[in-house]
Every structure is written in structure tokens, then in C-alpha cells.
Amino acid sequence: MLLADAAASNPKKGSDSKLVAVPDVRKSSLGEARARVEAAGLVFVVANREIRAGTVLSQNPAEGTKVKAGSTVTVTLQKAS
């Protein structure tokens, strides 16, 4: 009975909590980075939204980090020159 209660209170445990590796999107264009992050099953967010085009300068979490599918990857852009 206790096991059933624990499973019911945490439905994300088990097969639904698939881990995926964060792709390396540093030095990628904004569009390419977004496509790669979303293809991995992750949510793409730009930290410095005032920049509308450019190259990815940094990302969080880092490349190769294992996160739950649906997690957020935040990037910082370097303004296009």
C-alpha cells in the first residue's frame, strides 16, 4: 500500500523521467542552437533577449549534462557584428 501511495504522489518517477544530454550549441547561430536544443527534447531560452541575432556565447547547463526531457537550456548571445 505504501508503494502505491508513493507512486501516485510522484507520477514523474519511472519511465516518464527520461534523461537527455544537453547538446553543445556554443558558437552556433541563434536558429541553429534553437533547433538543436528543441530536437533534443529541451526548452530553448535566450538570456539576453534584447539581442535578436548573433552567436551563442555561453549556455547553461553545459554540453553533455544529463537533464530531464523538457528541461530548459538558457543561452547568452554575442551580438552579431
Mean pLDDT, range 3-9, rounded to an integer: 44
Give tens-digit pLDDT for 40-70.
Answer: 999 999 999 888 888 999 999 999 999 999 9
58 closest CA partner among 42, 37, 77: 77
Share of the chain above pLDDT 90, in %: 68
Question: 61: cis peptide before it, omega within 30°?
Answer: yes
pLDDT at 39 over 70: yes
Query: Identity (one letter) of the amino acid at 75?
Result: V
Q: Which domains does the chain have, with CATH numbers?
A: 21-79 (3.30.10.20)
Residue 65: burial class (beta carbons within 10 Å; 0-12, 13-18, 19+): middle
Q: In what order do the strands lie in the sheet with 54-60?
A: 43-46, 72-79, 54-60
pLDDT tens, 64-77? 999 999 999 999 99
Cell numbers that stand for 58 in this block: 555561453
